[in-house]
Amino acid sequence: MLAFITRRFLLLILVLIGVSVLLFGILMSFSPERRAAAYVTSPQQAKDIPKIIKQFGLDDPFYLQYARWMKAVFKGNLGWSLVASRPVAEAFWNYFPVTLEMNLFAAPIVIVFGIWLGTLSGIHRDTWIDHTTRIIAIVGWSLPTFLFALVLLMIFYGYFQLFSPGVISDRLTMLIVDNPDMFTRYTGLYTVDGILNGRMDVVWDALAHLILPVLTYVIVVVALNMRVMRSGMIEEISKDYVMTARAKGADRKTIYIKHARRNALLPVVTVAGQLVAISMEGSIAVEVVFNRHGIGWWLAESAIQLDMPVLMCICLFMGVVFVVTNLTLDILYAYIDPRIRLN
Amino acid sequence: MIEQHPRLREFKFTLYRIFKNPAAIIGFTLLLFFAGVAVFAPQIAPPKYAHNPYIMPHKGFSPTPKPPSKDHVFGTTSGQYDIFYGAVWGTRTAFKIGLFVVGIAAIVGVILGSLAGYYGGILDEILMRITDVIWAIPTLVLAMAIVVAFGRGLDKVMIALAMIGWRWYVRVIRSEILTLRDQDFVQAAKLMGVSDFKIILRHILPNAIYPVIIMASMDMGSMVITAAFLSFVGLGSPKGFADWGQMVALARNYIVGPPDDPLKFWYAIVIPGGCIVLFVLAWNLMGDALRDAFDPKLRRR
C-alpha cells in the first residue's frame, strides 16, 4: 500500500511539472511584446515596452523564463490580473469562496440524488421507472449548462420574478460595504458568514441566490453519476451471490441495499474524478450566466480580455485540484476494494 | 439455409439490437433530419451572400428581437438576424464542428493508443505520461487557454478542441489493445509472419473499435456543446455567423422581456437553444443505443 501511494505521488509531481510546462508553452506562443503589455498600466508606459522586455527577460530562452516563472509561482507571485486589477493571487482568494460555496451545496445533492436514482433505475430495470429516469438523465446530459441556466433565468427571474442573478442582493452588498464593522467576512461564504455574524437575512438572501445555480448544476451533472450507478446495479444484481441470497430467502431490500448497492458503488468512485472535472466546467457556465463572480466567471472574463496570467493561474489550480483528487480517489479505491490493493 | 459469414451475422444482430431500442430510433430519425437540413441548406434557406453563406442576412440593426412573421418564420434575433436562416445554416456549422473535432481526435487517439498498447515499453510510458498531463486540465478550461493563445474564431476553437479531445481515445483504445495483444489469434498471426501494421489494422482494431465508436457518438454532442459555450462567451464564431451558440449569445440580453410580457423574446433563445439540445440529444441517444448493442455484457440479454 505504501509503495503504491509513493509511486502515485511521484507520478503526480511528474504530471504537475508537465502541466506547468504545457501551460507555459501556451503562454510563450505570445510574442514578447504582447507579454510585455501585461506589465503596462498606463498609456505613457507603452513606449517603454522594449525596456520592459529587457528588464523582465521576456526574450530569453524558454527554459530560463520557465525557471523564473516557476520560482515566482512558488513565492506566490502569479502576476497581475487586468480583470480584477489587483495581483492574481490576491484576486484568487476573493473569487474562490463564491465557487466553493456553490459546489459545497451542489456536490452532496449530486452524489445522493445520483446514487438514489441510479439504484432505483437499476433495480427496476426496463420498467417505467427505469425508462423515465434514463430519459431524464440523457436529456440532462444533453442540456448545455449555459443554455439551461438561461432558460431557468428566463422562467424564474423573468416570469415569476423569484430569484435574481448574482451572489447576493445589491441592497445587502451596499449594507455590508457601508458597515464593515457590522459584518465581518470570516470565510467569504455568505451563508457561513451570515450565520457567524448572526445576520439571518444575509443567509436567506444568499440561499435564494444559490437555488437556481445549484439546480442547473445538479440536473446537468447528476446524469453521469446516475448512469454509472445504474449499470453497476444491473451487473451486481445478476451475480451469483445475489441469487444465493435470494434462494436462501433474504428479503429483497436487504439484498439490494446491503449487498448489491455496496458493490455497485465501486465504479461510482472511479468516475468521481471525472465528476470533479465536469463540475469545474459546469461552474464556468453557471457563473457566467448567473453573474456570480467566482473563479469560473473570472476565467471566462479573463479569456475575453486576454488576461493570460489569470488563465495560467486557474489552469494550474484546476490541474492541481484534479490531480490531487484523482490521487485521493485512487488511494480510497485501493482501500475499499481489496482486489486492487493486493495486485 | 446458407451459412452466413460470422461477421455479417453479428453485424445484422447488432443492427437488430439497435433498432429494437425506441431511443435509438428517435435518435437516428433526428440525426437523419439534421443531416437532411445540413445537406439541403442552400435550398431551404437560400443564402444572400453567395461567397459566404454562413453570414446570416439581417435587415436593419435594431437590437430588439422581432417575433415570427411571414418574412421571418422564426422571427429575428438581436441585430435583426433571421433566426430561421441561422438555425438552418447552424446545422451545417454543428456538423462541421462535430465531425472535424471528433474525427481528428479519434484518428489521432486511435493511432497513438494502438502504438502505445501494442508496442508497450518506453513508447507507451512517454505517450501515456503526455496523456496524463493533458488529462489533468478540464477540456473547457484548456480549450479557453489555447483559443486565447491562438486568437479567437470558430476554426481556432475547433483546432483547440481537437488538440484536447484525443486523450480519451488513447486511453480507451490502449486498454482494449492490452487485453487483445497477448491473445492466441494475435500470436498466431505473428508466427505466420504478418507485419505489425497489418496485425493492428486487420486483427486487433476491428475487435477494439466498438468503445471508440460509442465514445465518438457521445463526443459529437459534448464537443458541440463546448464549442457552443465558447461561442456564447465570445471566443468562438464572430457576431452574425450562423452558429447556434453565437445566436444564443446574441439574444442573451433579451431573456427577460418588458414587465407586462416577460417571456416576449422566448423565440430568440429557445429556437437556437432547442437546436443545440436536439442535435446533442440525437447523438447521445445513438451512443446510448450503441452501448447497449455492443457491450458484450448487455448484448445478449
Radius of gyration of chain A (CA): 24
Q: For position B296, what pLDDT does the model report?
A: 67
Q: So what's the pLDDT on residue B300?
A: 60
Query: CB A145 to CB B23 under 8 A?
Result: no
Tell me: ipTM over 0.90.
no
- Closest-CA residue of B relative to A21 is B133
Report the C-alpha dihedral over residues A7, A9, A10, A13, rounded to 10 degrees: 160
**Residue B66 φ then ψ, to 5°:** -115, 140
Give the tens place of pLDDT for each residue, B183-201.
Answer: 898 889 989 999 989 999 8
Kindly indicate the confidence band of residue B163, based on its pLDDT and cuts at 50, 70 and 90.
Answer: very high
What number is the average pLDDT over the span B25-47? 91
Q: Is the pLDDT of residue B301 over 70?
A: no
| Interchain contact, A303 vs B284, CB within 8 Å | no
Out of B233, B235, B256, the one facing A158 most closely (by C-beta) is B256
- Residue B241: φ, ψ to 5°: -80, 140
pLDDT, residue B50, reads 75
Q: What percent of chain B has pLDDT over 70?
A: 97
Look at B78-82, B85-89, B109-113 and tell me which has the smallest mean pLDDT.
B78-82
- The pLDDT score that the predictor gives to residue B298 is 62
Model confidence over A116-174: pLDDT tens digits?
Answer: 999 998 888 878 888 888 888 888 888 899 999 999 988 888 888 888 888 888 888 77
| Phi, psi (degrees; rounded to nearest 5) at B82 | -75, 120
Restricting to B residues 14-53, those with a Cβ less than 8 Å away from any Cβ of A are 23
Of B130, B233, B277, the CB nearest to A147: B277
| Segments of chain A scoring below 50 in pLDDT | none
Q: Mapped to the 3 state alphabet, what secondary structure does A184-227 carry?
A: CCCCCCHHHHHHHHCCHHHHHHHHHHHHHHHHHHHHHHHHHHHH
At residue A190, the pLDDT reads 83
**Res. B100: pLDDT tops 80:** yes
The DSSP call for residue B73 is T
Average pLDDT, chain B: 87
Q: Which residue of B has its CA nearest to A158?
A: B256
The predicted-structure confidence for B116-157, as pLDDT tens digits, reads as follows 999 988 999 999 999 989 988 889 999 999 998 888 899 999
> What integer pLDDT is reported at residue B122 of this predicted model?
93
| Chain A residues close to B142, C-beta within 8 Å | 315
Distance between B27 CA and the closest CA of chain A, angstroms:
11
pLDDT for A338 equals 75
Tell which residue, A318, A328, A309, has the closest CA to residue A16.
A318
Q: Which is more confident, B65 or A296? A: A296
Q: What pLDDT is stored for residue B101 in this prediction?
A: 96
**Residue A288 corresponds to which cell in the numbers above?**
457566467
pTM of the model: 0.89
